[in-house]
Amino acid sequence: MIYRHHIAPPRAYTRFSHDIIRHPRLSSDAVRLLTWQLSLPQGAREPLSRTAERANIGACAFTRAKRQLKEEGFVHERRVQGSGGHWATQQLVSNVPLSAAEAAKLLARMPVAGAAPDPVSPQVTPSPLIPAVGDPTPRLSDGHPKKYLAGNPSDQPPEPPVQPGPEPAVEAEPETDTPPEILSAATDLVTGFSRLSPALRHVPRPMHAELTRLTARWLEAGHPPSAVRIHILRGLPDDTTPVHRPGGLLRHLLRDVPPVTEPTPPRPAPDPLPPTPAAGPRLSARLTGAVECQGPHTQPMLFNPTTGETLCPRCVAGGHLADALGSARPAGATVIISRGVS
């Protein structure tokens, strides 16, 4: 349950219709903007934007509230032109909804700032302007410009004939005494620079003549083509640094020609040494003269034979001697068994 208590203000109050305060399609910002405008004195000319600033209504909320008031007929605007050609905006705020025709009749009776109290004329003569300093000059009409950047050139006047002058001297290439075979070898060498490294693939073609002359100096000095290639490969960057000017790098590497170093005479080969017997596995003194037993051993078995036998005493004692001799033993032969070292 709610109770209400009203105390009539003794001064500074405004009477509003309940239709404004309870309007179903007006937001709180729109109602506050309308009631603030209706509470201003009769001669006040405060625009709606200034009222929104004083009421702490943001830009987006003001735009939305103004649109709602114009749709409901509480606010009307029009643009008029006053004296001197200046344009002004008239705003009409009412406490009851008005149609466009009713608002136009009321705005037609309102004076425009800077104009006479008469109704505004649709065509107002602009005020006189102060002319610029100096006399007016006519437009230039002395012909076409000398150069045309675009457009139809068919209507251009013929250009005056150019007087023939002395032909410019053509700079001749310096004559060299380099033999043709060296120049040919240098040309082939320069052409093959692009295959030495991917960094030298994009050498400008106009630089080939200069690089050929520099390479010919190396060949004339006695450097072989392989030495030139090795010198260029050593001058390339070792890391992944890109070479932006391969022609300039080749020019820098070939500019200075080093002297040819005399080849070092080969050293005489030393006298051949007598061949040494192949070194076998070193055996201890106890196993010197030992041979491998031919009996059925799981691993090799060494023993010292006395009369050239091939079976160790263990195999002879085990009866393997007869199997080893077999039928190869002549009739009546006597087997001599000797005990050796196993």
47-99 pLDDT tens trace: 999 999 999 999 999 999 999 999 999 999 988 887 777 888 888 898 899 99
Q: Residue 137 forms beta bridges with which residues?
A: none
The confidence score (pLDDT) of residue 59 equals 92
Closest by CA to 52, choosing from 60, 41, 20, is: 60
Q: In angstroms, rounded to a whole number, what is the distance separating the alpha carbons of residues 189 and 206?
A: 16
For the chain, give the mean pLDDT: 76
- CA nearest neighbour of 187 among 204, 209, 203: 209
Higher pLDDT pick, 4 / 99: 99
Q: Is the pLDDT of residue 315 over 90?
A: no
- What is the β-pairing status of strands 302-303 and 291-292? antiparallel
DSSP string, 49-69: HHHHHHTT--HHHHHHHHHHH
Q: How does DSSP assign 209-271, residue by residue?
A: HHHHHHHHHHHHTT--HHHHHHHHHHHS-SSS---S-HHHHHHHHHHS-PPPPPPPPPPPPPP
Of the pLDDT bands very low, low, confident and very high (cuts 50, 70, 90), residue 153 is low
For residues 339 and 280, the model is more confident at: 280
When pLDDT is cut at 50, 70 and 90, the band that residue 30 belongs to is: very high
Worst-scoring range by mean pLDDT, 165-174, 241-250, 329-338? Answer: 329-338
**167 pLDDT exceeds 60?**
no
Mean pLDDT, range 305-326, rounded to an integer: 70
Q: What is the mean pLDDT of residues 245-268?
A: 81
pLDDT digits (tens, 9 = 90+) for 278-304: 555 665 666 677 888 888 777 777 878
Q: Is the dihedral of CA 115, 121, 122, 125 positive or negative?
A: negative
The pLDDT tens digits for 104-142 are 888 888 776 554 444 444 444 455 566 666 677 777 665
* Residue 85 confidence (pLDDT): 75
Alpha-carbon distance 19 to 73, whole Å?
13
Backbone angles phi, psi at 139, to 5 degrees: -70, 145
What's the pLDDT at 293?
84
What is the SS3 assignment for 92? Answer: strand
What is the per-residue pLDDT for 120?
A: 45
User: The whole model's pTM is what?
Assistant: 0.34
CB-based contacts of 335: which residues, under 8 Å, 6+ apart? 321, 325, 329
Region 6-22: mean pLDDT is 82
d(CA 46, CA 145): 57
User: pLDDT of 35-44, one tens digit each?
Assistant: 999 888 888 8
Reported as a single tens digit per residue, the pLDDT across 173-209 is: 555 677 888 888 888 888 888 888 888 888 888 888 8
Degrees, nearest 5: CA angle 7-12-13: 55
Q: Residue 315 is inside which H or E element, if any?
A: helix 313-317
pLDDT tens per residue across span 208-246: 888 888 888 888 888 888 888 888 888 888 767 788 888
